[in-house]
Chains A and B, each alone.
Chain A
């Protein structure tokens, strides 16, 4: 009974204290990060969603999700009070059907499904694709990749830590679908690094 009450309490608390300006500042960080892939941007405001969703991912959900954006969650998130929290604060419906989701949230250490299981958009409407918000251990210190593409001057080096080993394969396949494909927002704590579908990655051999 005690646990039950606690679930409800955490679902109703932890949203922005100043939604208009905090969501604006989170959006601007996301816009800059998406326009400059590989750049690590601090999110301007944090939220306190129920565990295991992190503060940064919570702030992104509050900024971008509403009743028009079905959300897909990992098993761990579905079993927490995150669906209730999302529902209460954003109105976003949680869907089990991956291609229906506009946003996908994966907590740190959660299993990352193949990107092509989600909406990739169509050749006519490539914008109708999912955006994946993936929490990882750190945006630096992991295996290094060269990144090229729009938004990147010459070449950038990124080293996200905590992505699955198969990530580069998944990403290369996703890049090959252009203009279709998913877009990624990698989150560690309150920092984000975005990878729009245009970014080409190549492993940096040490």
Chain B
């Protein structure tokens, strides 16, 4: 890496890192509250995870092992380019294995494998304000958080039930953190919401364009909003993963041909690969082997 020295370690200058680090400490002290920070321009467009990248850059050290996932996958464009970015500007060790990573930067998924105390999960967040689509004015949403006035969110969920018979929100499903702040878990499927509750790992959220950082410390209450007669439920899948046969995991639909053929596979590629290495085989994999 001859060009490593062209930039400061992990790309950001030290002044910026200090500013972000101070924001992270306050975010941890006020779980679920969005701390404003002076988000920098990054060498990638907004929407590509500039918030997550800045948080990762501020916490990353030479001893870390970094994993980056995009919708659960290690091998999609966003994950590959962010991983390559940190290899280039920080020369950091990278992995695709969840259990080997100390920092996992994620776009829209929480790994299937339970995270542990030594790990930090960094979320890329597009719109950090859970009330934004209900109230466009920042001055008003800020006041609503200040006064703990979340009636509007419950009305929204109620209207879901009135129209559809159930709460139709399936991703970015709002949660209440430690009984105080309503928080956007980023556009993760609601399937992942229960994993945030009382997690062993520290969870940090970075929104670059919206200039907000927030956090959920380990062992913190994270409750998905619901009603007594319409309790929160996660998605269920009829079939196991077509490749590794895993059940109770989040599956992606893959279209196979133009005749209606399709398969459902693990969204978490590392989890799927690990299971296949350990001899688990799903329907499609077994069929392929039989054909060979």
Contact = CB atoms under 8 A, between A and B. Distances in A.
Interface of A: 19-21, 23-25, 27-28, 30-32, 34-36, 63-66, 68-69, 102, 122-127, 129, 131, 150-153, 178-179, 183, 196-198
A152 B21 contact: no
A57 B19 CA distance: 18
A65 B21 CA distance: 11
Interface string B1-20: 00000001100001101110
Contacts of B180: 178-179
B22 A31 contact: no
Interface stretch (B29-37, B41-49, B166-174, B245-253): B29-37
Given A24-B60, A31-B202, A151-B218, A126 B19 contact: no
Nearest to B29: A196
A28 B61 contact: yes
Nearest to A44: B61
B24 interface: yes
B233 to A, nearest CB: 26
B23 to A, nearest CB: 7
B218 A131 contact: no
B230 interface: no
Given A125-B36, A127-B36, A151-B220, 13 more contacts: A20-B9, A23-B17, A23-B18, A24-B9, A24-B60, A27-B59, A32-B202, A124-B142, A150-B178, A151-B217, A183-B29, A197-B30, A198-B31
Contact of B22 (A23, A69, A150, A153): A69
Nearest to B147: A123
Contact of B28 (A34, A124, A125): A34
B178 A198 contact: yes
Interface in B213-252: 215-221
B286 interface: no
A64 B18 contact: yes
Contact of A151 (B30, B60, B219): B219
Contact of B14 (A20, A35, A68): A20
A74 B98 CA distance: 46
Contacts of B217: 34-36, 150-151, 196, 198
A127 B26 contact: yes
B255 interface: no
Given A35-B218, A150-B178, A153-B219, A19 B25 contact: no
A189 to B, nearest CB: 21
Contacts, number: 107
Given A68-B19, A178-B180, A21 B61 contact: yes
Contacts of A69: 22
B207 interface: no
A87 to B, nearest CB: 16
Interface string B47-77: 0000000000011111000000000000000
A179 B33 contact: yes
Interface in B110-151: 142-143, 145-147
Contacts of A28: 59, 61
B59 A20 contact: no
Contacts of A20: 8-9, 14
Nearest to B60: A24
Contacts of A150: 31, 178, 216-217, 219-221
Given A127-B30, A178-B180, A63 B21 contact: yes
27 contacts: A20-B14, A21-B62, A23-B14, A24-B9, A24-B59, A24-B60, A27-B17, A27-B21, A31-B24, A31-B25, A34-B217, A35-B218, A36-B217, A63-B21, A66-B15, A69-B22, A124-B142, A127-B23, A127-B30, A127-B36, A150-B220, A151-B28, A153-B219, A179-B180, A196-B28, A197-B29, A198-B29
A153 B58 CA distance: 27
A5 B204 CA distance: 46
Contacts of B33: 126-127, 179
A21 B216 CA distance: 26
Given A28-B61, A35-B202, A68-B19, A21 B9 contact: yes
B82 interface: no
B61 A24 contact: yes
A183 B26 contact: yes
